[in-house]
Structure 1
Amino acid sequence: MRFAISLIAFISALPVQAEVIPASSMVTEVTMHPDSATILRKGSVEIPAGKHRLVLRGVPDSASRESLRVTVNGVRQIGTVIRNDFTPPHDETAPEVKAAEARIEQIEQRIRTVRDDAAQARAAVAASEVSIEFLRKLGENDSMAEAGASALRDIARMIREEAGEASQAALDAEVRARAIEEALKDLNEELAEAQQALAAIALEDADRLYIAVEVSATEPVTSDLTLSYLVNYETSWVPTYDFNLLTGDDPRVEIKRSAMVRQETGENWTDVTLHLSTTEATGQIGARTLFPHLRRIEEPRPILKQRELSAAAPMALEADAGSLAEPVVEPPLITEEVMWSESNLILTYGEPVSIASGADVLKLQLDSFAEEADVQAVAVPIHDETAYRVASMVNSSGRELIPSSFATHYVDGQLVGFEAFDGLTSGQEADIGFGPIEGLRLTRDILDQSEGDRGILTRSNQRGDRVEIEVENLTEEDWPLRLLDRVPYSQQDDLEIEWVARPKPSEMNVDKQRGILAWDLTLAPGQSQTIQLDTTLSWPEDMVLR
């Protein structure tokens, strides 16, 4: 036996008078977490007075035994036994299986009827061919030579007319047979769909748990029973988004939220209430242990050349042998993970949901709303050759837009691309990209770069760079544009950095990032803008630039 566990008390045997009562339940409610799901099953069972064992059927082997909770109302629960060996066979004749098989049988019967009708039509073809063959042999009969000319003409006319009618009958019968067989194409497609539907149902695995609950009832009672359990790693859901930028005089971003749901629990969910939760039930639920942080100082060791290192290695091992006797134990380095969802957000889908195990990937449309947006072009010439359309918006919907690995971006309904989405809390502002603007062309050229005694500088502890940036509007509309570039920065007094930009930037240290510069421009159709950036770095002669 691979597994046997008692949640309350182990039941070794039952009194002779105790009755074993089978009890069925159905999945009615599911709360899906990112990598697990909490399943709720409900059922009803008639329990006579006395002590009995309820055998709860249908729970798949994917259920976590430790998480299983069983409640039987109106009786006293004594104990529960769970095992996955020697379990009763799974009922493969469920109503949906029977319905799918009946549909296949019906379609196959229709196919047989069509083939029979076609065969019957072709029987007329065969009969006509027999008549034609008889008439042909009649014309070849030697006794025909003794007939007179008039009789021969009448016989020839009769053979010709009869043969023509027989040939026409054969042709008509073949046409009817082919017309009948035309229906086979649609019927074969319908049969394939029915077989696929049955295959999806059949993906339910046959592995089921044996769950027995010993109960005691003082009087006959109809009990409602409830089972709940956790399924790990057999289910998943992820949010997806459609962002559609509507341009014009009043630009806005339409946001459609969806969820991609799949499950491979081993049983199909039919018309269940579905909740989508951001809580990672199998993840961290408490604060991590904080270890002391020991720091120490020591005399610097000389930096050896590679040849000296090779020669010194054996001696170093001998020298360190004594120190190995008393090792210094450092506390383990704990790398903390940041949860992708910081709050317990639960979304409940408004309609019953059905998902076949292992077959369906279901996309559920959650809701949609729109936010006003400011649209501008953003240019980063150091990386890109074109500017990109960016919409700045604030999430004023009151909804929590949780992170997603997949979001689709559109402009006026036209697809521009896909990318991950970092999420957006209520009231938070975001800049969302909506593809390149091919008509806003960027160039960034290094006109002069000097170091040491090459170029305009003569000292080896100085470096100079001259960069020219140009942006050109080849579109037919005005574009507000934010251009970003950078200059180096230093945290050392001995490394001096001077720079000059023409024209001056509109903003320095953008988003508190030192050395990031921004120019806010407006370019009319056909207009271009040039920016020149000169940078000089100076440092002591006994130092090197990194």
Structure 2
Amino acid sequence: MTKVNQISVEGTLASNARELETQAAAINKRILEIEQQQARAQDALNQLMAGSSTTTQNSVTQVSVRTASRTPSNLKLHYQVRGASWQPTYQARLNTDTKQLSITASAIIAQQTGENWQNVPLMLSSVNPNQNATGQLPYVQRLSLYDEQQQDSVARYAQPMMEAPVVVVSADESAGAMANMAPLPSFAVNRQDKNGITEYRLPQRVSIPSDGRRVRTVIDEQAGFSKLWIRSTPSAELAGYWYASAPFLTPAWVDGSLQLYRDDNYIGQTRYSYQLLKEQGIGFGVDNNMLVKQLVDEDKQGEKGAFNRIQTLTNTEAYQFTNQHNKTVNLQVLGSEPISRDDNLKVSATHTPPISERDWNSNQGVVAWDFKLAPQQSQVVQSTSQISYPAKQELISN
């Protein structure tokens, strides 16, 4: 009995040892599988953090090339991809004491092509690939006479049409992100103009991941002396705005956002448009030291003529401007005078003092005064317009 029990115990121990060995092998195999899964997950995470999208979609294109030469040849392959773009952004800095104006042009570059750009040469082009390639034909009017009965019939049987949905895209988020980005160091960029197309070749190689992050680089800068003035349109707003000329502006710069700094203070942003800024100057915010006060704003109606019954309308506006700066400033005041589009409608206008320019900047009906205002000096401008037309007719504005 003792021997049998000893054999049974030894057999049980051997069986348990084999079980433990089998379980240990299974556990080691499971640990190996988990380590492999962890390694694959870590690789995928590294690729995602680097901006690679090859883990979700792979695209392979095969190109076969056959040469007639028996000597080795070099082959360059050029291809286009979606998801790469750049947009310009500008910073204008004005010093009202030295009258110096500087404008820095930068490029915001981003790409989501699925391929990381590592240390690549880069050239930016002003061409918009989504623009129209051909012009439009003139519009041809097709005229018909108004038939009241026919129109009633059409309106009775016509089915109501649903309004088309309107899609509104907001750029506030992207603009805010661009404004908070720190600029990269400035490098000299080679710019070439090719019959209206501007190309910027960056001197340094760049690395841009394929995760859409924005990389900013300076591409150009212009600076010089500027003419300053304060412009006011009192009929629209009782305020004056700083303006600066920019004779060094170039049409080669693409339209984009323009951030404005006056005396090292950020005052807002506007749109960079070469033609508009060249004609009207660059606005740099409200000038609180120019006081604008309304003195007169009244309309009078009257009739004259015993038989023709002519209706008259007289409008008088007067404003006062006071310079509270400790230096002389240039003041430009914009006003308007009515325009007649009918032979039976007569318009006359008088301005005190006499205006400096009529049809200002080729804008019909806009008048301008130009003054030099010494410190604490005031200037009053007044405009009176008179409109005469047959009393039986109704006056329509615009």
User: Is the pair's TM-score, using the shorter chain for normalization, greater than 0.5?
Assistant: yes
Residue 228 of structure 1: SS of its match in structure 2? coil
| Separation in structure 2 between the aligned mates of residue 502 and residue 219 of structure 1, nearest angstrom | 86
Gaps of 5+ in 1: 1-97, 103-194, 303-308, 319-340, 454-458
Is 1:364 equivalent to 2:212 in the alignment? no
**1:403–1:424 Cα contact (<8 Å) kept:** no
- 1:87-486 counterparts in 2 under 5 A? 199-206=48-55, 207-214=57-64, 224-232=74-82, 234-249=83-98, 251-288=99-136, 290=137, 293=140, 295-296=142-143, 298=145, 301=147, 313-314=152-153, 343-395=196-248, 400-404=252-256, 406-423=257-274, 431-444=281-294, 446-452=296-302, 461-486=311-336
Return closer, same or farther for 1:202/1:239 CA change in 2, 3 Å cut-off: closer
Q: 2:50 is paired with a residue of what secondary structure? A: helix
3-state secondary structure, aligned to 2:330: strand
How far 1:362 sits from its partner (Å)?
Answer: 0.5
Is the contact between residue 92 and residue 104 of structure 2 (CA under 8 Å) also seen in structure 1? yes
Q: How far 1:432 sits from its partner (Å)?
A: 0.8
Pairwise CA distance, 1:475: 2.4
Distance 1:428 1:532 in 2: 29
Closer, same or farther: CA 292–510 of 1 in aligned 2, 3 Å: closer
8 A Cα contact 2:310 2:390, kept in partner: no
Match of 1:86 in 2: none
Separation (CA, whole Å) in 2 of partners of 1:197 and 1:436:
50
Partners of 2:58 and 2:394 in 1: CA distance: 71
Match of 1:83 in 2: none
Offset from partner CA, 1:156-194 (integer Å, 9 cap, x none)? xxxxxxxxxxxxxxxxxxxxxxxxxxxxxxxxxxxxxxx
- Inter-partner Cα distance in structure 1 for 2:66 and 2:361: 69
Aligned residues: 315
Q: Equivalent residue of 1:200, what SS? A: helix
Instruction: Name the counterpart of 1:488.
Output: 338
The 8 Å contact of residues 232 and 332 in structure 2, kept in 1 or not, is answered as yes
Task: Give the C-alpha shift of residue 387 in structure 1.
Answer: 0.8
Q: Distance in 2 between matches of 1:469 and 1:262?
A: 51
Distance 1:544 1:201 in 2: 70
> Following the alignment from structure 1 to structure 2, what is the Cα–Cα distance between the partners of residues 493 and 531?
30
Segment of structure 1 superposing worse, 467-476 or 253-262? 467-476
What letter is aligned with 1:313? D
The 1:544–1:238 alpha-carbon spacing in structure 2 relative to 1, beyond 3 Å, is same
What is the identity percentage for the equivalent residue pairs of Structure 1 and Structure 2?
24
Contact 1:355 1:362 in 2 (8 A): yes
Structure 2: gaps of 5 or more residues:
1-38, 158-193, 304-308
Q: 1:528 aligns with which of 342, 361, 378?
A: 378
CA contact (8 A) 1:395 1:429 kept: no
Between the aligned partners of 1:532 and 1:216, the Cα distance in structure 2 is 82
1:204 Cα deviation from its structure 2 partner: 3.1
The CA distance in 2 between the partners of 1:449 and 1:489, in whole Å, is 17
Alignment CA distance shift 1:428-1:395 (3 Å): farther
Task: Work out which of the two has the higher radius of gyration on C-alpha atoms and give 1 or 2.
Answer: 1
Whole-angstrom distance in 1 between the partners of 2:226 and 2:143: 54
Label 1:414 to 1:450 Cα distance change in 2 as closer, same or farther (>3 A). Answer: same
Distance 1:217 1:540 in 2: 87
Shift of 1:296: 4.2
TM-score, normalization: structure 1?
Answer: 0.52
**Residue in 2 aligned with 1:152?**
none
Whole-angstrom distance in 2 between the partners of 1:424 and 1:475? 31
* One-letter amino acid matched to 1:416: I
Preserved contact between residue 118 and residue 208 of structure 2 (Cα < 8 Å) = yes
Distance 1:291 1:315 in 2: 29
For residues 412 and 441 of structure 1, do their structure 2 counterparts lie closer, same or farther at Cα, with a shift above 3 Å needed? same
Matched with 1:501 is 351
Instruction: Output the CA distance in 1 between the equivalents of 2:368 and 2:389.
Output: 27
- The answer to whether the 8 A contact 1:204-1:268 is kept is no
TM-fit CA distance, 1:315: 9.0
For each residue in 1:385-418, what CA deviation from the matched residue of structure 2 results, as whole angstroms up to 9, or x when unmatched?
A: 221111112127x6722211x1111123222221
The 8 Å contact of residues 468 and 532 in structure 1, kept in 2 or not, is answered as yes
Q: Contact conserved, 2:51 with 2:209, CA < 8 A, in 1?
A: no
Evaluate the alpha carbon distance shift between residue 470 and residue 355 of structure 1 in structure 2; reply closer, same or farther with a 3 A threshold: same
Contact 1:451–1:460 (CA under 8 A) maintained in structure 2: no
TM-superposed CA distance for 1:271, in Å, is: 1.0
CA distance in 2 between partners of 1:217 and 1:342 (Å): 36
Most deviating of 363-372 and 211-220: 211-220
- What's the TM-score once normalised by structure 2's chain length? 0.69
Distance in 1, Cα, partners of 2:323 & 2:289: 6
* 1:512 partner letter: S
Question: Aligned-pair RMSD on alpha carbons?
Answer: 3.6
- Residue 274 of structure 2 aligns with an amino acid whose one-letter code is G
Which letter maps to 2:244? Answer: A
Cα deviation code 1:58-117 (max 9, x no counterpart): xxxxxxxxxxxxxxxxxxxxxxxxxxxxxxxxxxxxxxxx9xx79xxxxxxxxxxxxxxx
